[in-house]
């Protein structure tokens, strides 16, 4: 017993020493998880606090080839130290100035002290299920939240056809973007303690389509126990949409010259098409470039077994404390800003 206590004290002292040495050297501490070692960088919060940033950590294998339009597969361990020094690529989508690639299932972890056990926030970005990212410089930075004693995780996940294509059959059940988020939550549950986070105090935070996703995880039996609080801003799965993923999936296949009705052949054909062609095809469906929610969830019998409203009404959901709210005039930037000239041109014509 005494030996065990001494070993624990030694390991704690070693971790604290490594932390102090890293701070002195202005370097992020080297993190070791069961998958391998991770090297990070140092950022600065709004109030000048040091943030240890570990960015571009892949939590899933590349969703390419036969893994396109399929559930994500956990990433395999690596041998060399992973240089997690920059954001991973944005998932394929119509707009975005950042690097884009189909191999995009990565996450970022931000912490101020890897030897503590702080609450964790997992951020799920918005974007009408067709766009958005977890880029630390443009949309999902830690510079405000990390003034507090928390650990922040931001997640890249598939959007658009890549995240939600479905024919309503076993071969193409949909929900891939939500299953990406689910796998990221499992990664957090397993590894976040190595970054100074408490896996028993995880809060999901999402805005717009991200808020919608947060409430879907509340309704999903697969997400049970993976988070302990929820913040949903300007989005909820209790809203009712005219969901028809099969229509948009078959429309995509038709416009790309693929079979429309036999799911096996539809998938085989679309998996041969470049992601750029798929993106360029779907972007033409948006009037004035406006973000319309065409891709959405499916009740697949696994991630969702019933409509979220029914699950909540019947008390068959993950009961966690929740904060909800809205972003006032959230969508006004679209018609008043970058697309105003197009509206004006169409009106004059």
* The pair of three-digit structure tokens given for residue 146, joined into one six-digit string: 């990390």
Domain of residue 296: give its range: 32-243+288-348
Given this model, what pLDDT does residue 15 score?
A: 45
Q: How many CB atoms lie within 10 A of CB 12?
A: 11
Cα torsion through 221, 227, 231, 233, rounded to 10: -50
Q: Is residue 15 part of a domain?
A: no
CATH of residue 331's domain is 3.40.50.1820
pLDDT digits (tens, 9 = 90+) for 107-121: 999 999 999 999 999
Given this model, what pLDDT does residue 12 score?
A: 44
* The pair of three-digit structure tokens given for residue 230, joined into one six-digit string: 């929820």
What is the pLDDT confidence band of residue 288, given thresholds at 50, 70 and 90? low
pLDDT digits (tens, 9 = 90+) for 181-224: 999 999 999 999 999 999 999 999 999 999 999 999 999 999 99
Q: Is residue 62 part of a domain?
A: yes
In the chain, the number of structural domains is 1
Q: What's CA 191's distance to the chain center, in Å?
A: 16
Given this model, what pLDDT does residue 114 score?
A: 97
CB 117 within 8 A of CB 281: no
Q: Is residue 18 part of a domain?
A: no
Given this model, what pLDDT does residue 237 score?
A: 86
Residue 341 pLDDT greater than 70, yes or no: no
Q: CB-side exposure of 122: number of CA atoms within 13 Å?
A: 30
Indicate the SS3 state at residue 322: strand
Indicate the SS3 state at residue 345: helix
CB 73 within 8 A of CB 67: yes
Q: CB-side exposure of 223: number of CA atoms within 13 Å?
A: 30
Residue 19 pLDDT greater than 80, yes or no: no
CB 168 within 8 A of CB 177: no
With tokens 């302990």, the residue in question is 228
Given this model, what pLDDT does residue 24 score?
A: 38
Could you give the C-alpha distances from 116 to 15, 106, 199, in angstroms and in order? 10, 24, 12
Spatial separation of the C-alpha atoms in residues 163 and 291, rounded to whole Å: 16
Average predicted confidence (pLDDT) for the chain: 88
Mean pLDDT confidence for 35-45:
98
Q: Is residue 115 part of a domain?
A: yes
Residue 290 pLDDT greater than 60, yes or no: no
What is the pLDDT confidence band of residue 327, given thresholds at 50, 70 and 90? confident
* The pair of three-digit structure tokens given for residue 307, joined into one six-digit string: 């409509």
Q: Is residue 21 part of a domain?
A: no
Q: Is residue 283 part of a domain?
A: no
CB 182 within 8 A of CB 216: no
Q: Tell me how far apart the 2 most distant CA atoms of the chain are, in Å.
A: 85
pLDDT digits (tens, 9 = 90+) for 141-189: 999 999 999 999 999 999 999 999 999 999 999 999 999 999 999 999 9
Q: Is residue 269 part of a domain?
A: no
Flag the least confident range among 78-82, 273-277, 278-282, 291-295: 291-295
Given this model, what pLDDT does residue 161 score?
A: 97
Q: Is residue 133 part of a domain?
A: yes
């Amino acid at each position: 017993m005494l030996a065990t206590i001494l070993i624990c004290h030694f390991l704690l002292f070693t971790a604290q020493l490594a932390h102090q040495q890293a701070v002195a050297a202005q370097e992020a501490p080297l993190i070791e998880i069961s998958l391998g070692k991770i090297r990070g960088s140092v950022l600065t919060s709004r109030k000048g606090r040091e943030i240890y940033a570990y960015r571009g950590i892949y939590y899933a294998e590349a969703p390419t080839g036969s893994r396109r339009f399929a559930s994500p597969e956990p990433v395999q361990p690596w041998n060399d130290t992973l240089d997690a020094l920059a954001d991973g690529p944005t998932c394929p989508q119509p707009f975005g100035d950042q690097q884009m690639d189909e191999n995009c299932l990565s996450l970022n972890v931000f912490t101020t002290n890897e030897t503590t056990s702080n609450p964790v926030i997992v951020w799920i970005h918005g974007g009408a299920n067709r766009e958005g990212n977890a880029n630390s410089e443009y949309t999902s930075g830690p510079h405000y939240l990390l003034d507090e004693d928390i650990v922040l995780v931001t997640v890249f996940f598939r959007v658009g056809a890549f995240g939600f294509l479905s024919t309503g059959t076993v071969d193409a059940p949909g929900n891939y973007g939500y299953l990406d988020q689910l796998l990221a939550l499992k990664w957090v549950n397993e590894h976040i303690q190595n970054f100074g986070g408490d896996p028993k105090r995880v809060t999901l935070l999402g805005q717009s389509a991200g808020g919608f996703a947060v409430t879907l995880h509340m309704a999903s039996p697969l997400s049970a126990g993976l988070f302990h609080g929820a913040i949903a801003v300007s989005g909820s799965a209790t809203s009712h949409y005219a969901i028809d993923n099969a229509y948009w999936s078959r429309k995509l296949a038709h416009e790309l010259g693929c079979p429309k009705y036999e799911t096996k052949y539809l998938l085989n054909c679309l998996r041969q098409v470049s992601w750029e062609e798929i993106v360029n095809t779907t972007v033409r469906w948006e009037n004035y470039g406006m973000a319309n929610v065409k891709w959405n969830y499916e009740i697949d019998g696994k991630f969702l077994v019933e409509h979220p409203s029914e699950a909540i009404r019947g008390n068959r959901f993950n009961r966690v404390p929740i904060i909800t709210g809205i972003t006032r005039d959230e969508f006004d930037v679209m018609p008043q800003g970058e697309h105003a000239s197009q509206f004006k041109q169409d009106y004059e014509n």
